[in-house]
Amino acid sequence: MMKLRNRRALMLAGTAVALSLALSGCSAINDILGSGSGDADRDEETGQVTESANIDVFSVKLGDCMADTGSGTLTDANVLPCDEPHDLEVFYEIKMDDGDFSEEAIDTASQECIGDAYTTFVGVAYADSALDVTTLTPTKDSWEQNNDRVVQCLIVDPAGQTTGSLQGAAR
């Protein structure tokens, strides 16, 4: 399971609590529901998605572009080539240290998404940008049951879908 969190809301509210949508990547649920194949077709050299696919949420990788995840509990993600209109792009990943699950530690680590990682990727500081950030984060269940230790930073344009990567967008 993973949570989707909106970082702009965190920054503007000045709080470590954000509205979140639960994403569940539990493979047992996938097996029961039959959704989310293991992974998408990818270019062998670049690893980029070459064909739209519905994949297990744990198969989402750095550089992937995704369609809107919707709301509620999800077991999968719709990835597509970045040159097609999309809503989200994974631009940075944070590997959490092993240990006990800590929502506070995940919140603290996910602040990296709006720091230097963001500025380097977009070309302007988060506070000066028109773009937004959300995160895919481990839940207590995914942490304990799936050894999930990755926080994924996703960039989104609140104005709507984009085509191509937002790397270097400088807006």
| pLDDT above 90: percentage of residues in the chain | 63
- In this structure, what are the phi and psi dihedrals at residue 29, rounded to the nearest 5 degrees? -65, -40
What single letter denotes the amino acid at residue 79? V
Per the CB < 8 A criterion, the answer to whether 155 and 80 are in contact is: no
- pLDDT of 112-148, one tens digit each? 999 999 999 999 999 999 999 999 889 899 899 989 9
Q: Please say whether the beta carbons of 66 and 84 come within 8 A.
A: no
pTM confidence score: 0.79
CA distances from 95 to 56, 105, 132 (A): 19, 12, 21
pLDDT digits (tens, 9 = 90+) for 15-51: 222 323 333 333 333 333 334 557 899 989 998 999 9
